[in-house]
Structure 1
Amino acid sequence: MDLPVMPPVKPMLAKSVARIPPDMQYEAKWDGFRAIVFRDGTEVELGSRTGKSLTRYFPELVEALKGRLPERCVVDGEIVVAREGRLDFDALSERIHPAASRVRTLAERTPASFVAFDLLALADESLVDLPLTDRRALLTRALAGVTAPVHLAPATTDIDVARQWFEQYEGAGLDGVIAKPPTLRYRQDERAMFKIKHERTADVVVAGYRFHKSGPVVGSLLLGLYDDRGTLQHVGVCAAFAMKRRAELVEELEPLRLADVEGHPWAAWSDESAHETARLPGAPSRWSGKKDLSWVPVRPERVAEVAYDHMENGARFRHTARFRRWRPDRAPESCTYAQLEEPVRYDLAEVLGSPA
């Protein structure tokens, strides 16, 4: 492979802001795996955000990119998997598997798509020093008439359209909106763009915690919600605390601390088979590797208000939640899934302008 921009490339990033800023180019924020695609004739490489290769996990996408991208190019975009008209991050995560036979099976069962939103090189020319408006124009021409599973990400300079996308696209599983300065050059590994994500709050039961890697202070709180059968399901964690606050949380939760997990709603957490029928902390996965997943059980009697962006498959927080405050006025059993706001469904095909 011999391209004007060679791997590894660390993608340009975005910083969070509360509102959609004016005078920008706006795009949807995709909920997938960020990927830089390098194509030089028959050679295709999929580079991840960390610089590691994703190529072996998406053989069907490699073949599709060979037939749909320019002969020699470097394209920034997102690998996604769609089910029933919306993005499915869980199905996408399953694609990262060490067994080649499993990779082949999943390539047929849950084929991936690639959404292109930036062009870093074309033929023998590097485009990273061109302004975004020029790169976007070249990308639009290069992908004119492209067909699924490769897509050109919709973009607009109309802030009212961006606001409409922010409200509608969540129903298709998207994360929010990205705002990019029109004159922006491509700046690797810098937060030079802006992301605007949905934020909601929920009252959750704190049913345990993990220690911080630095010592006997809280690293993360384990959060739960009751389902319609009255079962406390593990829905995620909140983990961003100042060190002083981490120590205070240990003291605050000490009266509720249990000597062992017996009698706790998540007592079966160490039984791998139990995770098949319930959401429990410490679920084994290829992501956790040899990481210590043990945790300290507490009586599920304290309620906290947390902020979150959206739910994954309506079952758990997609990202780490953010602690807001204790809610002594709320009874734990009132913390159910029913309180969560459900976005109005929106077909992903409408976002992409073609069959998903």
Structure 2
Amino acid sequence: MRLPISPPVEPMLAKSVPELPVAEGMTYEPKWDGFRCLVFRDGDEVELASRGGKTLTRYFPEVVEQVRRQLPERCVVDAEVIVVRRDGPGGAARLDFELLSQRIHPAASRVKKLAAETPADLVAFDLLALGDEALLESPYAARRARLTEALAGVTPPVHVTQVTTDVPTARRWFDLFEGAGLDGLVAKAADLPYAPGKRLMFKVKHARTADVVVAGFRWHKSGPVVGSLLLGLYNGDGMLHHVGVSASFTAARRAELLEELEPYRHDLVGHPWLADAAGDGQRVPGGLSRWSAGKNLDWEPLRPELVAEVGYDAMEGDRFRHTAQFVRWRPDRQPNSCDYEQLERPVRFDVEQVLRGDPGKPA
């Protein structure tokens, strides 16, 4: 592969900000919830490189084929690999990160099967090289114009992300597109060069809080202190589901937490997550997945009486999409009030409309 930019290359990153940045010439685009991917194409040679530098090429043969069919003969494109879940005729389509995650599988036969059953789309949003020309030093506005021109003829499942410079439109997108499974918005200054590995873009993500039951914890690898809190929410049938963890505590706070949790480590008969009490279909800690290979999943139960307020950005099915952030203890709340009903659910929106650049009415 002979390109003006060759792998490995780190993608440019975004810095989290609490509010949408406003400046002359600022461009806003949807923040896609998928696998970040730098696409390198030199004729029939195609490499899909992940943010961490690992290859995604073998896992997405259908994306490789589309790159050969639709992208310029020689180019480097910054993009996102996504999987869209379509709920049948008349149903809204939305991003599904869980289905996307399942595409990473060691067996070639499984990769082939999943490529047919849950094919991925490719959403392009920046152009790093075209032909023999490297574009890293070009301002973003110029790169965007070149990207739009170079990919003018692409059709689904390849897309060029929509953008806007209108702040009211961007704010509407922020509220609306979450219902299609998107993360938020990314903002880019017009004169921004492409700086691999640097956090020069801005991202604004949805943030919420919820009251949860703290029904267990895991030890930290550094010693006998708390590593993470295990969080639960009750469903409508009164079943306590494990919905995620809260972590990222300082060393001093980990020791304090152990003292605070000590009174709840006793009298555990009937704990809802232990084998003799767990019900059918109940999500409990310790479940194995391809992401947990090699990890210590041992956990310590706590009487499900502690309530904490945590911050979270989004749900993935019936669990928190990312690690929740501990805010405070809530001694004024009863554990049985910590249910799914309290969660704010975004209005459903069809991701196909976002991909088409047609942000009409919610689904």
Same fold? TM cut 0.5: yes
1:346 aligns with 2:353: no
Q: Deviations over 1:257-292 (max 9, x none)?
A: 148x763211139xxxx8982212122111111111
Q: Aligned partners of 1:184, 1:133: CA distance in 2, in Å?
A: 8
Distance 1:103 1:276, change over 3 A: farther
Match of 1:267 in 2: 274
Contact residue 115 and residue 152 of structure 1 kept, 8 A:
yes
Q: Which amino acid aligns with 1:213?
A: K
Q: In angstroms, what is the RMSD of aligned CA positions?
A: 1.6
CA deviation map 1:322-351 (0-9, x unaligned): 111111111101100000011001111110
Deviation at 1:354, TM superposition (A): 7.0
1:218 and 2:226 matched? yes
CA contact (8 A) 2:162 2:357 kept: no
Structure-2 residue corresponding to 1:75: 77
1:175 counterpart (179, 183, 187): 183
Q: Residue 15 of structure 2 aligns to which amino acid in structure 1?
A: K
User: TM-score, structure 1 length as denominator?
Assistant: 0.95
Q: Partner residue of 1:105?
A: 113
**SS where residue 288 of structure 1 aligns?**
coil
**2: CA distance between counterparts of 1:79 and 1:113?**
6
**Equivalent residue for 1:250?**
258
Local SS of the residue matching 1:279: coil
Whole-angstrom distance in 2 between the partners of 1:148 and 1:82: 12
The residue type equivalent to 1:253 in the other structure is: L
CA distance in 1, matches of 2:18, 2:31: 15
Secondary structure of 1:301's match? strand
Q: Distance in 2 between the 1:4 and 1:268 partners?
A: 58
Q: Verify: 1:10 aligned to 2:17, yes or no.
A: no
The residue matched to 1:233 in structure 2 has which SS? strand
**Between 284-293 and 44-53, the greater mean CA deviation after superposition:** 284-293
Q: Classify 1:276/1:290 alpha carbon distance in 2 versus 1 (closer, same or farther; 3 Å).
A: farther
Q: Structure 2 regions of 5+ residues with no counterpart?
A: 87-92, 359-363
- Return the alpha-carbon distance in structure 1 between the equivalents of residues 157 and 305 of structure 2: 48
Q: CA deviation at 1:228?
A: 1.1
Letter in 2 for 1:282: G
Q: Quote the sequence identity (%).
A: 64
Distance 1:323 1:275 in 2: 28
Determine the structure 2 residue equivalent to 1:202: 210
SS state of the match for residue 76, structure 1? strand
SS of equivalent residue, structure 2 residue 341: helix
Q: Which residues in structure 2 correspond to 1:66-215 (within 5 Å)?
A: 66-84=68-86, 85-215=93-223
Q: Secondary structure at the match of 2:304?
A: strand
Report matched runs for 1:254-333 at 5 Å. 254-258=262-266, 263-268=270-275, 277-313=281-317, 315-333=318-336
CA distance in 1, matches of 2:273, 2:9: 42
- Which consecutive segments of 4 or more residues in structure 1 shift more than 4 A? none
How far apart are the structure 1 equivalents of 2:309 and 2:28? 32
The DSSP-based 3-state class of the residue aligned with 1:263 is coil
